[in-house]
Amino acid sequence: MEKKIKPIFDKRIFWDINFGQIDYDAKANFVIERVFERGDVDDIRQCRRYYGDDKVTATLLNAKFLPEHRIHLASAVTGKPLNEFRCYILRQLNPELFPY
């Protein structure tokens, strides 16, 4: 069996942890959520290549939080409607004040 080549993400995505000690397999959900929250298009492509679309889709559908614009990006990338995303449902249950 081939060993997967680890993706090379921008260090700014993981600014709060030791970048060299990230275990991409054991902490897959954390890595996928963080890449979609803070990464750019190249980071997202590498994430999808490494984990596969099924794992990425399952993780994003169950994520507790993503910024609103990233929820729409995740919906476009995965092809799933917004109302299937847990973070979208939680956002609808807790509406924010209207920004004036």
Tens of pLDDT, residue by residue over 19-34, are: 889 999 999 999 999 9
Q: CB–CB of 61/36 below 8 Å?
A: no
Domain ranges of the chain: 25-93
Structure tokens at 48: 């999808």
What secondary structure letter does DSSP report for 79?
T
pTM greater than 0.85 (yes/no): yes
pLDDT tens sequence across 45-77: 999 999 999 999 999 999 999 999 999 999 999
